[in-house]
Amino acid sequence: METENKKLLINGAKAFGIDLAEKTVEAFDLFRKELLKWNEKMNLTAIRSEKGIVLKHFLDSLSVFPHLSKIYSLLDIGSGAGFPGIPLKMIHPSLEVTLIDSVRKKVDFQNHIIRTLGLKGIEAIHGRIQEREILENLGGRFDGTIARAFSDLDTLLLLSFPFLKKGGILLAMKGEAPEEEWQHLTQIKTTRYQLQKTAAFSLPSSSIKRSIILFEKI
């Protein structure tokens, strides 16, 4: 990894309260190399620059870390190439992580990275969150569910509900939320959740806007 991007990763992680050991930085660099290698054969990500991967995949994933203090088991819904679940596992080894995605090649890549980095307490599942078998196996197991760039918040709330324990937290990661979306949040009427917190911020050393919305299952 180029020195400039290594500094971006280390200093960016510090902005989220994370001190990366040199061994962990090397693991992120290996993750990056494998992502680009696999991406030559299959479309895992449209982001192909080293800086883009560090910023828009790694640091974007780590931005959730300050909100995980009461979460010990996490379900990553639509986990794609492993974001945010795998980076969160890398910096939070005691976190139990389950990744689920409907695209087989992406799950194959996730399993490859899990093996390559020697990660324990994490599994990748091929399937759809709506499938009965998935629900039977995973229902009610998680302190937290998370999804990145899920387009329809109402649908995410519905799909996430049966997988959370009572008091569990749904973390919805989004881009810059327009004003009408914030207004929509205040108008959501549900007996299943309460809006716990919203956070709007920029990714470190950039003007890229992000937001995180937290709902608690009641």
pTM for this predicted structure: 0.94
In a domain, 154, yes or no: yes
What does the alpha-carbon distance between residue 141 and residue 184 come to, in Å, rounded to a whole number?
29
Sheet arrangement for strand 96-101: 122-126, 96-101, 73-77, 142-148, 164-175, 209-217, 193-202
Find the radius of gyration of the CA atoms of the chain. 17
In a domain, 201, yes or no: yes
In a domain, 7, yes or no: no
pLDDT by position in tens, the chain (length 218): 999 999 999 999 999 999 999 999 999 999 999 999 999 998 899 899 999 999 999 999 999 999 999 999 999 999 999 999 999 999 999 999 999 999 999 999 999 999 999 999 999 999 999 999 999 999 999 999 999 978 788 889 999 999 999 999 999 999 876 566 666 666 666 778 988 988 999 999 999 999 999 999 99
Cβ–Cβ contacts within 10 Å for residue 167, how many?
Answer: 10
CA dihedral 197, 74, 147, 45 (to 10 degrees): 140
Enclosing domain of residue 82: 57-217
Q: How many domains does the structure of the chain reveal?
A: 1
Q: Which CATH number covers residue 64? A: 3.40.50.150
In a domain, 31, yes or no: no
E strand residue ranges, the chain: 73-77, 96-101, 122-126, 142-148, 164-175, 193-202, 209-217
In a domain, 138, yes or no: yes
In a domain, 90, yes or no: yes
In a domain, 17, yes or no: no
What does the alpha-carbon distance between residue 11 and residue 202 come to, in Å, rounded to a whole number?
14
